[in-house]
């Protein structure tokens, strides 16, 4: 993908039309309105900014209709998970590339997702201040050769398939005697399981076919203190969410379906929340610029909404918190803080203005 932003919008005396695209069946497509969608606040914010937003529901069975509809738009905002009820983006991403090449700009563009919205970004940016002892296994052979000695030497590890969501393909792995391991899947309701290391690794082999690699990070002992989700629109922080997660934490004696095993609510905060200002400064002043440089992404191609998930790392010499990146979500970042829809609208408006200025030679 070109790293320089392309011009897809025409300068016309009309409201610009932006599609908001999500996955659903034929009935959902017929019945979709801005008011009955979960993105109602985003529709309202775009309308307040003078931009018409149109609901577009996608499924592979009517992909041609969606393609034709998107080609009438000035831009497309996409909220589709990498994996949803057994369906992937294998057909959607080529469609979005085709659409973006012909006229509308797409956010997040599939090529941007492949750079920043996959677990491989944890390896490519491991040298940044949010990095950890992160490794990448590109083939099953490399996985079988390198992971066992690393697990024995470095303590509990977390393995992650390259593309996924909702904890799918994310495992905590602890070495036990006699070449066995204790593993815990991050999917809700999972129980710890003990089995031979070789059998577990064989279970992971399909990840190379779908995502192309497996990422390996150290387990963070401060996980029970929660995860901080930093929401970003373009290159500016749009808010935070803090949640006491239960993924990769063994369930209590009451069992994985008990109330005690359920994650706490994600408490949303605006971008100015005092407790997160150190993280905000790091993101806006250092880590996002370094991310763009490392991945060769122009600021105008950053998604209109994305998030970076952080766990608390070891405290530094002064006792201050450090942060370890555990995931970037760029395919389908939702729910979002109350302040985020207005931030999305500002980012969309700025990109439209930039493209119109380019069209008119300004």
| pTM check: above 0.75 | yes
Q: Are 26 and 61 in contact (CB under 8 A)?
A: yes
Q: What is the DSSP letter of 237?
A: E
| Percent of the chain whose predicted confidence (pLDDT) is above 70 | 93
| Model confidence pLDDT, tens digit, residues 182-223 | 999 999 889 999 999 999 999 999 999 866 899 999 999 999
What sign results for the dihedral spanned by CA atoms 230, 233, 239, 244? negative
Res 5: pLDDT: 41
Q: Are 310 and 130 in contact (CB under 8 A)?
A: yes
Instruction: Report residue 357's pLDDT band, with 50, 70 and 90 as the boundaries.
Output: low
Q: Whole-angstrom Cα distance, residue 110 to residue 78?
A: 10
Res 10: pLDDT: 46
Report the SS3 class of residue 352.
helix
Question: Across all residues in the chain, what is the average pLDDT?
Answer: 92
| Model confidence pLDDT, tens digit, residues 277-299 | 999 999 999 999 999 999 999 99
Strand 105-107 vs strand 75-79: parallel, antiparallel, or unpaired? Answer: parallel
Residue-wise burial string across 50-69, b where 16 or more C-beta atoms lie within 10 A, e elsewhere: ebbbbbbbbbeeeeeebeeb
The kind and range of the H/E element at 112 are: helix 110-116
Give the end-to-end CA distance of the chain in Å, rounded to a whole number. 25
Res 3: pLDDT: 41
Report the SS3 class of residue 77.
strand
Q: Whole-angstrom Cα distance, residue 238 to residue 232?
A: 5
Identify the bridge partners of residue 76 per DSSP, sorted by sequence position: 19, 106
Query: Does pLDDT of 356 surpass 70?
Result: no
Residue 196: how many other CB atoms lie within 10 Å: 13
Residue-wise burial string across 277-299, b where 16 or more C-beta atoms lie within 10 A, e elsewhere: eebbebbbeebbeebbebbebee
Q: What is the DSSP letter of 116?
A: H
Q: Whole-angstrom Cα distance, residue 90 to residue 146?
A: 30
């Amino acid at each position: 993908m070109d790293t320089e932003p392309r011009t897809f919008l025409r300068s016309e005396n009309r409201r610009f039309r932006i599609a908001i695209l999500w996955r659903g069946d034929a009935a959902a497509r017929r019945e979709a309105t801005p008011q009955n969608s979960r993105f109602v606040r985003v529709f309202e914010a775009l309308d307040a900014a003078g931009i018409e937003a149109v609901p577009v529901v996608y499924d592979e069975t009517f992909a041609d209709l969606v393609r034709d509809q998107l080609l009438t738009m000035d831009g497309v905002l996409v909220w589709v998970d990498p994996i949803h009820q057994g369906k992937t983006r294998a057909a959607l991403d080529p469609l979005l590339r085709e659409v973006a090449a012909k006229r509308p700009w797409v956010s997040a563009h599939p090529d941007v997702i492949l750079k920043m919205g996959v677990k491989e970004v944890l390896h490519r940016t491991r040298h940044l201040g949010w990095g950890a002892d992160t490794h990448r296994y590109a083939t099953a052979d490399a996985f079988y050769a390198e992971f066992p000695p690393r697990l024995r030497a470095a303590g509990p590890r977390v393995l992650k398939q390259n593309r996924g969501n909702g904890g799918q393909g994310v495992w905590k792995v602890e070495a036990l005697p006699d070449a066995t391991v204790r593993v815990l899947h991050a999917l809700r309701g999972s129980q710890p399981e003990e089995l031979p290391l070789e059998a577990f690794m064989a279970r992971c082999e399909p990840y190379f076919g779908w995502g192309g690699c497996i990422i390996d990070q150290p387990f963070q002992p401060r996980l029970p203190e929660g995860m901080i989700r930093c929401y970003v629109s373009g290159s500016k922080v749009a808010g935070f969410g803090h949640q006491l997660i239960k993924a990769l934490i063994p369930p209590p004696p009451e069992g994985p379906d008990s109330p005690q095993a359920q994650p706490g609510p994600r408490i949303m905060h605006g971008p100015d929340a005092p407790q997160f200002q150190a993280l905000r400064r790091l993101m806006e002043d250092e880590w996002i610029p370094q991310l763009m440089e490392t991945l060769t992404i122009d600021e105008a191609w950053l998604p209109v909404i994305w998030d970076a998930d952080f766990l608390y790392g070891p405290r530094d010499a002064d006792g201050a918190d450090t942060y370890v990146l555990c995931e970037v979500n760029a395919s389908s970042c939702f729910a979002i803080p109350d302040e985020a829809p207005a931030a999305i609208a500002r980012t969309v408006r700025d990109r439209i203005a930039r493209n119109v200025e380019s069209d008119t030679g300004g």
